């Protein structure tokens, strides 16, 4: 599927078609009852795909997902400025907002909100424009009066929650209201982060005229917040200029408790649905920290683990395990999730007769996620857990990935004699003759 960004890059083909109801429904138990904040750029409201997005929003609501819509007005202000020949001081709410710019912002905001109201009404959704944003003037920065540019003082959480519980979709404009009731212009990217924090949202989805987060000319499909924070601090020039605002506010949102932020091309047909209801997605995902994506497996994961590793077993990369065997040893498994989809696994086994040793095995990462450092994170995490238990040395057995363990992970090839007696017997009886590698912790 083309991502429509004109850069010649192509988004990955989703594994779940929007028409595949069974594929979508498997996500419903995970997302039902959660709050998603959709932040729609003004350029997306003006795009021909806008009507399709509103249908997608209706789909989310029908599946029990609570949606709050925050919209921008940057393109609309610029269009009004050009058509009325009125100069503006700032289009996106991050710089000075003079009286003329504020007037156009209010007009643009009313127009955009009305278009959203019309579209949602056509999709039989109840909705309401709110005045839930309490704001204060930014004031003077570096000697320059920002005039009518505002910052969020507080979000009226009770008001928005009341609308959500009444099955009414809140529409939040990028206009806040000061203590005197007067209007102030607010950047919509910032506003979405503030709203998501206040409501305890599980996702922010920025719908933008970009294929995702662009770093060094390439779209980054997923990135840990720690990595993005460091990039913004040390090498901000590597980020596409249009990606800066989304990146800054994604970091801010995650630091205040929002687990995941998505950046999706809102011009792509079915892009929103495919981003949410497929494992790979079509945009960019910014997530908390590396190890927060790793958790101990549970019995509910048995079928997913069996299906995840089945192809690797056929290629003799991994030892065959039945679902019953996986369930019996489920306490040995750790899984890596991206947006609640298991995309990698590893096992950690402690030898009863050799407590200073532990074995790392069943390392597998879905091919789509290769070369992203996930395999290394899984092994590093297993080593960390082993060290916490007092283990001094970990071993790994591999028939095809041994070079990864030795050249990337710092393991050293050794003789099978280092294995405990029971494990050595299983090794000989298995007939696979994997290489044995060890690493001191």
On the 0-12 / 13-18 / 19+ scale of CB atoms within 10 A, 428 is exposed
Contact indicator for 132, 155 with CB cutoff of 8 Å? yes
Residue 320 confidence (pLDDT) above 80 = no
- pLDDT tens digits for range 380-419: 889 988 988 889 999 999 888 888 888 888 899 999 888 8
C-alpha to C-alpha distance for 90 and 93, rounded to whole angstroms = 6
- pLDDT tens digits for range 149-177: 999 999 999 999 999 999 999 999 999 99
pLDDT number for residue 23:
67
Residue whose C-alpha is closest to residue 299's, from 263, 341, 264, 335: 335
Residue 300 confidence (pLDDT) above 60 = yes
DSSP 87: -
pLDDT number for residue 337:
86
pLDDT number for residue 73:
97
Highest mean pLDDT among 36-40, 279-283, 401-405: 36-40
Contact indicator for 313, 320 with CB cutoff of 8 Å? yes
- Right CATH number for 21-293 from 3.40.1160.10, 3.40.50.620, 3.40.50.300, 2.130.10.10? 3.40.1160.10
Residue 426 CB contacts under 8 Å (≥ 6 apart), including other chains: none
pLDDT number for residue 6:
38
For 46, list phi and psi in degrees, rounded to 5.
Answer: -85, -5
- pLDDT tens digits for range 163-215: 999 999 999 999 999 999 999 999 999 999 999 999 999 999 999 999 999 99
pLDDT number for residue 2:
32
Q: Does domain 294-440 have CATH number 1.10.3720.10?
A: no
SS3 at position 262: strand
Residue whose C-alpha is closest to residue 146's, from 92, 99, 96, 88: 96
Residue 10 confidence (pLDDT) above 70 = no
C-alpha to C-alpha distance for 420 and 262, rounded to whole angstroms = 47
pLDDT number for residue 400:
80
C-alpha to C-alpha distance for 261 and 312, rounded to whole angstroms = 31
Percent of the chain with pLDDT over 90: 62
pLDDT number for residue 249:
96
- pLDDT tens digits for range 103-149: 999 999 999 999 999 999 999 999 999 999 999 999 999 999 999 99
127 vs 259 pLDDT, higher one: 127
Inter-CA distances, 358 with 328, 332, 391, 416, Å: 18, 11, 7, 14
Residue 227 CB contacts under 8 Å (≥ 6 apart), including other chains: none
- pLDDT tens digits for range 79-99: 999 999 999 999 999 999 999
Percent of the chain with pLDDT over 70: 93
Contact indicator for 395, 425 with CB cutoff of 8 Å? no
- HSE value, Cβ hemisphere, 13 Å, CA-based, for 386: 31
DSSP 85: T
Prediction pTM value: 0.71
- pLDDT tens digits for range 49-66: 999 999 999 999 999 999
SS3 at position 150: strand
Mean pLDDT of 26-34: 80
| Domain ranges within the chain, ordered by starting residue | 21-293, 294-440
pLDDT number for residue 234:
95
Record the tokens describing residue 324, joined without a space: 């019953």
SS3 at position 253: helix
Inter-CA distances, 258 with 162, 203, 210, 251, Å: 21, 6, 22, 9
Place of tokens 């096992």: 347
pLDDT number for residue 319:
73
Contact indicator for 184, 177 with CB cutoff of 8 Å? yes
C-alpha to C-alpha distance for 8 and 34, rounded to whole angstroms = 35
Record the tokens describing residue 266, joined without a space: 């809102």
C-alpha to C-alpha distance for 394 and 335, rounded to whole angstroms = 19
Band of residue 222 on the pLDDT scale cut at 50, 70, 90: confident
Residue 218 CB contacts under 8 Å (≥ 6 apart), including other chains: 9
C-alpha to C-alpha distance for 246 and 71, rounded to whole angstroms = 14
Residue 15 confidence (pLDDT) above 50 = no
Residue 8 confidence (pLDDT) above 80 = no
Residue 264 confidence (pLDDT) above 80 = yes
Mean pLDDT of 228-255: 93
pLDDT number for residue 9:
43
Gyration radius from the chain CA atoms:
25
Contact indicator for 334, 347 with CB cutoff of 8 Å? yes
pLDDT, averaged across the chain: 89
């Amino acid at each position: 599927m083309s991502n429509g960004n004109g850069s010649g890059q192509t988004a990955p083909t989703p594994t779940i078609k929007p028409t595949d109801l069974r594929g979508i429904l498997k996500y419903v138990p995970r997302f039902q009852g959660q709050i998603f904040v959709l932040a729609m750029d003004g350029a997306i409201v003006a795009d021909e795909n806008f009507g399709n997005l509103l249908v997608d929003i209706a789909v989310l609501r029908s599946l029990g997902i609570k949606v709050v819509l925050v919209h921008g007005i940057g393109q609309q202000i610029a269009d009004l400025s050009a058509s009325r020949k009125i100069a503006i001081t700032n289009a996106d709410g991050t710089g000075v907002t003079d009286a003329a710019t504020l007037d156009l912002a209010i007009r643009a905001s009313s127009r955009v909100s009305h278009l959203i109201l019309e579209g949602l009404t056509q999709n039989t959704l109840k909705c309401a424009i709110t005045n839930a944003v309490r704001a204060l003037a930014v004031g003077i920065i570096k000697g320059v009066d920002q005039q009518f540019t505002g910052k969020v003082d507080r979000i009226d959480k009770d008001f928005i929650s009341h609308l959500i519980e009444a099955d009414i979709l809140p529409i939040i404009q990028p206009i806040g209201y000061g203590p005197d009731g007067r209007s102030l212009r607010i950047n919509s990217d910032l506003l979405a982060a503030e709203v998501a924090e206040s409501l305890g949202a599980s996702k922010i989805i920025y719908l933008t005229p970009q294929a995702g987060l662009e770093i060094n000319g390439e779209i980054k499909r997923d990135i840990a917040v720690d990595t993005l924070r460091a990039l913004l601090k040390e090498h901000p020039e590597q980020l596409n200029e249009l990606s800066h605002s989304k990146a800054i506010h994604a970091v801010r949102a995650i630091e205040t408790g929002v687990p995941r932020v998505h950046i999706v091309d809102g011009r792509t047909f079915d892009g929103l649905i495919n981003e949410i209801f497929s494992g790979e997605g079509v945009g960019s995902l910014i997530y908390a920290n590396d190890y927060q994506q790793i958790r101990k497996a549970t019995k509910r994961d048995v079928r997913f683990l069996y299906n995840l590793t089945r192809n690797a077993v056929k290629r003799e990369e991994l030892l065959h395990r039945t679902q019953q065997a996986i369930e019996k040893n489920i306490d040995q498994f750790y899984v890596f999730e991206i947006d609640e989809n298991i995309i990698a696994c590893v096992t950690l086994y402690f030898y009863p007769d050799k407590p200073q040793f532990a074995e790392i095995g069943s390392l597998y990462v879905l091919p789509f996620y290769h070369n992203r450092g996930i395999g290394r994170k899984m092994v590093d995490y297993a080593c960390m857990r082993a060290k916490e238990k007092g283990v001094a040395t970990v071993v790994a057995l591999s028939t095809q990935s041994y070079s990864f363990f030795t050249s990337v992970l710092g393991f050293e090839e050794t003789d099978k004699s280092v294995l405990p007696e029971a494990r050595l017997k299983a090794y000989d009886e298995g007939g696979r003759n994997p290489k044995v590698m060890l690493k001191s912790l």
